[in-house]
Amino acid sequence: MIKNVKVAITGGPSGGKTTLIEALKKEYAGGKVKVVPEAASILYKGGFPRVPSYDGLYHAQRAIYSVQREVEDLRCKLYPEALIVCDRGSLDALAYWPEGAESFFPMVGSSIEKEVARYNWVIHLDTAAEPDYDATNEIRTESFQEALALNEKIKKCWAVHPHRIVINSQQDFLSKMRKASMVIAAILENKKFEEIQKITES
C-alpha cells in the first residue's frame, strides 16, 4: 500500500478541481484516498475578508498558505496509509501573491525546492474553454480572461515539479474528468511517470 504519497490538484479557476475532488470522495469512500479541502474556501466561507487590494491579497495569501500547510500535515498524520489528495497546493498562493517569488518565500520561511518536495505528484487542470467557463461558484470572482491569466501563473509556479501532469481543456469536460480519475488510479497503482503521462496523451 502507498504510504505518505501526496497529490496536489491545481489549475486555474473553473478547471474542474471541485468536480474531481467530489468524484474521488465517492469513488474512494472506503479510505484509500483522503482529501485536503481548499484552504481559500475554508477561510472565505468562514468570513475572512476578501479585499481586492495589495493588503487584501497579502494577508489573504499568508493565511491561505498557513492553513493549507497545517491541514495537509494533519491529514498526513491521521491517515499515513492513504493517498492524500489536496485541493490546490501550497505553491498556488504564489500565483495570487501581489509581489514576486523574491518576497513570497522569505515571508513563508520556505523555498521553491521545499514546496515542490511537499508533493509527490501535481495534477494541473487547465481552465475550461470560454463556453464551459463556470462563474456560478460563490467564491469565484474572476472573469474568464482573468481566469486564463491565473491558470498560466499557476502553471508557471509548478513548472519545476518533476511529476506534474497537465490535463488541458481541448477535450470535453467529461473526458477531462475521466483522464484525471485515471491518473489518480494509476498513482494508486504506483505506475511510473512516463506511463501516467501517456494517459493524458490518449
Question: Which one-letter amino acid corresponds to residue 167?
Answer: I
Compute the C-alpha angle 106/155/123, nearest 5°. Answer: 105
Residue 81 and residue 3: Cα distance in Å, rounded? 5
Chain centroid offset of residue 163 CA: 14
Chain centroid offset of residue 187 CA: 16
Q: Is 31 left (phi over 0), alpha (psi -120 to 50) or beta?
A: left
pLDDT band at 201 (very low <50, low <70, confident <90, very high): confident
Type and span of the H or E element at 23: helix 17-27
Question: Which one-letter amino acid corresponds to residue 94?
Answer: L
Q: Is 16 left (phi over 0), alpha (psi -120 to 50) or beta?
A: left
- Please, where are the H alpha helices in 79-192? 92-96, 101-108, 112-117, 144-157, 173-188
Has domain 5-201 been given CATH number 3.40.50.300? Answer: yes
- Whether the pLDDT of residue 192 is over 70: the answer is yes
Residue 100 and residue 96: Cα distance in Å, rounded? 10
Nearest by Cα to 155 from 164, 146, 163 = 164
List, for residues 30-61, the tens digit of each pLDDT value. 789 999 999 999 999 999 999 989 999 999 99
pLDDT value of position 4: 77
Burial class of residue 202 (count of CB atoms within 10 Å of its CB; 0-12, 13-18, 19+): exposed
Task: Work out the angle between the directed axes of helices 193-201 and 173-188 (0-180°, nearest 10).
Answer: 170
pLDDT value of position 3: 66
Residue 86 and residue 7: Cα distance in Å, rounded? 6
Q: What percent of the chain has pLDDT over 70?
A: 99
List, for residues 116-164, the tens digit of each pLDDT value. 999 999 999 999 887 777 777 777 778 889 999 999 999 999 999 999 9
Residue 193 and residue 190: Cα distance in Å, rounded? 9
